[in-house]
Amino acid sequence: MVDLTGTVRSRAFAGALERSGPVGEATPERIRAVGLHAYFGRTHAVRGVSLGVQTNRITAIIGPSGCGKSTVLRCLNRMHELVPGARMEGQVLLDNEDIYAGEMDPVMIRRRVGMVFQRATPFPTMSIYDNVAAGLRLNGVRDRRTLDDVVEHSLRQAALWDEVKDVLGRPGTSLSGGQQQRLCIARALAVQPEVLLMDEPASALDPASTLKIEGLARILRDQLTIVLVTHNADLFTRPRDPRTEDYITGRFG
């Protein structure tokens, strides 16, 4: 991992992907992680990682399997601590606030920093509609009109609405793998997160579905902030940070 000031920390790399604005244009920093260490029991999985994540950008974490990419991601929304025996050290600032400070509610942090996993995980007993509405219902929203609006908006954001609008009552698990992953993205978007963490979201998908997820990430970047764990170096064909290309081509890292 490299922090954006250039300190080599381990064998992974975080850099921002190509961006919509003119080269050199900076957006406000949404997340800053400083000196992250993560442990699973006695296993020291992440050692002193620091990184910055800019608003309305896709920041990618790349590196070999097992180097700690997913663990770093889960430290950014307090999911790491859900693993029995896991703990972390260091600081994660979301909009300059320490998400690990005593008064911070981890449930609220996970709502502000949503997550999409490697394998699509629709709630198996729920319809397409109920999958997307689940987070809102947990937050106490009962008004049918509000739920309808949010479900439609989220499915449109996830580029799935046209494919499912006539079958919203069908089980989420009846969809194809790629559709299920977009359903999970819609579910994450429904609670209006500021940041979306995506852990190799296309690794279990066919090439066409992968392209859809990549295209979707580029569109969503304009509305929120994305941190993406990926093996797919193709995503870096237009990297913003020259060190990204150096890493992929083996000159660095």
Residues within the interface to ligand ADP (CB under 6 A): 40, 43, 45, 63, 65-71, 83
CB 110 within 8 A of CB 82: no
Using the minimum distance from each CB to ligand ADP, give the nearer residue, 35 or 66: 66
Closest to ligand ADP by CB, 63 vs 172, is 63
Q: Shortest approach of ligand ADP to residue 251 CB, angstroms?
A: 21
Cβ neighbours of residue 99 under 8 Å, at least 6 residues apart? Answer: 77, 78, 92, 93, 109, 113
One-letter amino acid of 243 = R
* Residue number, 88 or 151, with CB nearest to ligand ADP: 88
94 - beta bridge partners? 31, 97
- Quote the Cα angle for 158-159-163, to 5°: 120
Select 3 or 130, whichever has its Cβ closest to ligand ADP: 3
Strands 195-199 and 86-94: unpaired
Write down the least CB distance from residue 35 to ligand ADP, Å. 17
Strands (DSSP E) contained in the chain are: 13-16, 29-40, 43-54, 58-62, 86-94, 97-98, 113-116, 195-199, 225-229
Query: Which residue, 43 or 139, has its beta carbon nearer to ligand ADP?
Result: 43
CB of 185 to ligand ADP, least distance (A): 19
CB of 11 to ligand ADP, least distance (A): 9
195: exposed, middle or buried (Cβ count in 10 Å: 0-12, 13-18, 19+): buried
Q: How far is the CB of 249 from ligand ADP (least distance, A)?
A: 20
- d(CA 154, CA 31) in angstroms, rounded, equals 24
Phi, psi values for residue 236, rounded to 5°: -100, 25
Rounded least distance, CB 74 to ligand ADP, Å = 8
CB of 253 to ligand ADP, least distance (A): 14
Residues belonging to the chain:
253
| CB closer to ligand ADP, 12 vs 216 | 12
Question: Coil, strand, or helix at residue 175?
Answer: coil
Map tokens 């499915």 to a residue: 155
Give 173 or 203: the residue with its C-beta nearer to ligand ADP: 203
